[in-house]
Amino acid sequence: MSGPLPVASLGELRRAEAGCRRCPLYAPATQVVPGEGAPGAPLMLVGEQPGDREDLSGKPFVGPAGRILDRALGDAGIDRGKVFVTNAVKHFKYEQRGKRRLHKRPDAHEIERCKWWLEIERDLVHPGAIVALGTTAARSLVGRPVTISRERGQPGELADGTPLFVTIHPSLLLRLRGEAEKAAEYRRFVDDLRMAANRA
């Protein structure tokens, strides 16, 4: 982000995000879900958006996908307490089906409107490397559509020189049916995280 930051700390940023009206997603959401972690964290993980559990708790990656992420971080030798975890979009986008709230993918406009907050987070945290978890996160970070299979395993760089690693969103592992496929994809996910940590 060019020019002076509009906020001076992650605490100020959380308060500013709570008042965000840059797109309509704030209206049906329970609350904003800001990033979590310490300034100076060597590794930043960027997901898509909060899910149902995250919307209710106000914390990122605390639902089923978050449990997979925690396990993968542990298997990669990464302490979650020493990384910064956030999302490209800060409010939960969903469709109501009876009593259930079903996840809906953010569109290009919503991603672009929320990019402002992600850029401020990046400037405040100043990570040594960033992992984009899924296509929404990758699009927000690089400013264009990204194909995971094409970019995965090939470290890139953002405009400011920060190393960028593109991988799957852990929620994909919840959707895979075959045990062998799921195990192989999980191992590859752990390898992706380990590779990023080694560059951070």
> How distant is the alpha carbon of residue 36 from its chain centre?
11
| CATH architecture for residues 10-199 | 3-Layer(aba) Sandwich (3.40)
Q: Which two tokens stand for residue 51?
A: 């899910």
Q: What is the pLDDT along the chain (200 residues), one digit of tens a residue?
A: 555 568 889 999 999 999 999 999 999 999 999 999 988 999 999 999 999 999 999 999 999 999 999 999 999 999 999 999 999 999 999 999 998 998 899 999 999 999 999 999 999 999 999 999 999 999 999 999 999 999 998 899 999 999 999 999 999 999 999 999 999 999 999 999 999 999 98
Q: Hey, where are the domains in the chain?
A: 10-199
d(CA 91, CA 112): 13
| Residue count (the chain) | 200
**Who's near 147: CB < 8 A, 6+ residues apart?**
135
**Shortest CA distance to 141 belongs to which of 164, 172, 174?**
164
pTM of the model: 0.94
d(CA 62, CA 73): 14
Contact indicator for 48, 169 with CB cutoff of 8 Å: yes
**Shortest CA distance to 37 belongs to which of 130, 162, 161?**
130
